[in-house]
Amino acid sequence: MVVLHVKLSAPASSSSPEAAEEEMEFLHECAASASVADVAAALGALAGLQARLLSLCHRLRGSAEACGADAGAAGELERALDEAEAYASKEQVQHNKFLLPHALREHIKNIQKKCATALQESPEALCLQQPSSGNKHEKIQLWWAGKELAMGQKLSDYIGVNDKTKIVIRLTQAPDEP
């Protein structure tokens, strides 16, 4: 399996909270024979889940205590936030830990459950349920060695057929066409 060290770049015009994506990175594994389009879709989905989880953690940090929640429930929420942030952190790259979509989803569900318990509100009432941003990662571009990878190609067309390769991929949003 090819190991992809993925680094995310936010669009240059972005000055919103998504600008934090500039610092996001993670590891992903795929076959060298995988199509670039399939890899882009998988990386886009992972990047979206990672961004959602980190955003959720950032928004909820300290909110349970500020709202006067029970100390035990607030402590559980803080622990859940700490665990989730540690899992989605770019430091995982240094430890050769891969991000897994199901683990990211589990962290999100766990945070929503703990938050609902701590604040005694439903996740819907707390606006924790975010609509899936399917089109946000629809126009993804993959870059390796200064070249954009064409969606119609296979990864092996660029890196060869060796499955024991590790490369750094830059993930960017395609600019909106006028």
164: in domain: yes
pTM of the model: 0.82
Looking at residue 116, its pLDDT comes to 82
CB atoms within 10 A of CB 177: 5
Mean pLDDT of the chain: 82
40: in domain: yes
Question: Which structural domain range is residue 44 located in?
Answer: 2-173
Q: Which residue has the higher pLDDT, 133 or 73?
A: 73
The sign of the torsion formed by the CA atoms of 149, 152, 155, 157 equals negative
Looking at residue 14, its pLDDT comes to 44
Reported confidence tier of residue 176, pLDDT bands at 50, 70, 90: low
178: in domain: no
Which pair of tokens denotes residue 32? 């060298």
- What distance, in Å, lies between the first and last C-alpha atoms of the chain? 39
Give how many domains the chain has, as a whole number: 1
CB atoms within 10 A of CB 107: 23
147: in domain: yes
Looking at residue 130, its pLDDT comes to 57
Report pLDDT digits (tens) over 79-137.
Answer: 999 999 999 998 999 999 999 999 999 999 999 888 888 777 666 666 665 555 444 55
Q: 173 near 140, Cβ under 8 Å?
A: yes
10: in domain: yes
